[in-house]
Amino acid sequence: MAIEGRSPPSRRFLAATLIAYCAFFLMIACCRATPAQDRKVYIAYMGNCPKSQASLPALHFGLLHRIIGNAKVASDSLIYSYHRTFNGFAARLTEAEHQKLSAYEGVVSVFPNKIAKLHTTRSWDFIGYPKNASTSTRRQQSNLIIGVLDTGIWPESPSFDDSGYGPPPKKFKGRCQSSSNFSCNNKIVGARFYNVAGDYGPGDIPSPRDSDGHGSHTASTAAGNFVTPANLYGIANGTARGGVPAARIAVYKICWAFGCSYDDIMKAFDDACSDGIDMVSLSAGGSPMEYFRDPIAIGAFHCMKKGILTSNSAGNDGPFPGSVSNNSPWSLTVAANTIDRKLTTNVKLGNGEIYNGTSLNSFVSNKSMCPIIYGGDAPNTTAGYEGNVSRYCYSGSLDRNLVQGKIVYCEFAGQGDGPREAGAAGAIMGNNPQGDVAFPYLLPVSLLSEKDGSNVLTYSNSTSDPTAVIYKTVDYLDGSSPYVLYFSSRGPNPITPDILKPDLTGPGVNILAAWSQGTTMTGLPGDERVVAYNIISGTSMSYDNSTAPECQV
């Protein structure tokens, strides 16, 4: 007879057994979860590939097995094995395993995986490169293969059409990761993509196809076909071409919405420099670091050992001293200078005065004149803003009832979000310190110098009915170039001061080149302008403008 209030022995035994099982499996789950939570991606660099024919991936696994002590965890931790051009691997490690691996014989360096960031018709005429290539020159160029490590490529662009091209050079051993939405041709001879983490943004496409625009722009600047006419809504109209227009392109997509991961960059180098390319073109970088911990320096070093030069962008963190990235002595680092084509967006006031502004304005005004209102006189008081804030035209700071249909004068050269959200017809921004770089906006905008902006504000305040019109951007020739752009990163070399960096400059402002039609002109929300060619600026453009002379050496 069971005692009231207590379970029978069989039930107590069953309950105890279940509790023990639950505790056991909970302990196993915790043991498994903890390492995964504590593990971070590290890159182990081990120098040259050994002369022996032993399988490096197997050796990398064996080393990880000895470090971790568990075959399954070691297998799951191994991300990449670098074994074609240099020796190394990427793996998920705990801090203790990282320290243990760093002390292991044969390991040059172990460093954490980080994210690098991404740093184009008149430029070739400006630097004096031949406008036409002879048959023999074209034949020589068609044997050149430029490996472009970037955001991919838009293969349907006329800049990458393969009409008139023969089969790819036999030296090329790469491959094309074709899919239902991507294929190579005799111009784009190879294409791969790298995203081992599987981290895809809303607009990212898991293929070599470019959904950003940057990769197509740089590839066509280096090796795009002759394309006539090429322009952006009629701006910079002419013939677009790359520096080596008959060269082939091998694409290595390493950059995504989040940036460019070090482990992916090293795997792309490992493949590219064993595929049979002649040159690496790369426009990404991070903070300066020791060469044996820098994935770009490591990759470029082993490519150079094979006679393959890496051309890098210097970065867009100028004008501060020591801001240059990609400082290794075995790669070419290119800063950005102006070209002799200037873009201007003129503003005409109701009193007849005309001021030369800067922007990339593709909009044609439907009115001859629009009323002007000063942002400081149109604060969104409902949202708690006052004139001392609304004068800068920040997002949400302007009163739509006062601004809609008018041109707003702003004291800050921002993105134009505030005027656009308030329904403005356009914006004049009056404190542009640099008039070289033309930025696109989602409404008509012109950036004026501080002096000209002050004149516009004086006119607006002294007239009962001030009006203005913002004209579409036009281009003209200017003889003051070249000079280094303010945004271009500067030396001295922060890693090896005795080695001068950057090595040279190239055209890097307002460059027209191919664009991805998988995105818009700006990539900003609300922009519906899909274009075949776009105008952008940066050292990403300048290093590609230096690719052609390098390929001919």
Q: Please name which of 500, 475, 497, 223 lies closest in space to residue 335, comparing C-alpha atoms.
A: 500
Q: Please name which of 550, 534, 530, 513 lies closest in space to residue 159, comparing C-alpha atoms.
A: 513
217 is an active site residue? no
536 in Cβ contact with 520 (< 8 Å): no
The active-site residue out of 123, 150, 446, 452 is 150
Helix (H, G, I), strand (E, B) or coil at 85: coil
The active-site residue out of 77, 211, 390, 540 is 540
Which residues, at least 6 apart from 38, have a Cβ–Cβ distance to it below 8 Å?
94, 95
Dist. CA 185–CA 414, nearest whole Å: 42
Report the half-sphere exposure of 404 (CA within 13 A, side-chain side).
4
Dist. CA 28–CA 34, nearest whole Å: 10
DSSP conformational letter for 477: E
Q: How many CB atoms lie within 10 A of CB 156?
A: 14
Dist. CA 162–CA 147, nearest whole Å: 17
Burial class (CB in 10 A: 0-12, 13-18, 19+), 249: buried
The active-site residue out of 83, 98, 119, 214 is 214
Distances from the Cα of 73 to the Cα of 62, 240, 493, angstroms: 12, 52, 41
Which residues, at least 6 apart from 117, have a Cβ–Cβ distance to it below 8 Å?
259, 260, 284, 285, 286
**Residue 363 backbone phi and psi in degrees, to 5:** -90, 140
162 is an active site residue? no
DSSP conformational letter for 293: G
For residue 270, the Cα-to-chain-centroid distance in whole angstroms is: 20
Q: How many CB atoms lie within 10 A of CB 143?
A: 15
Residues marked active site are found at: 150, 214, 540
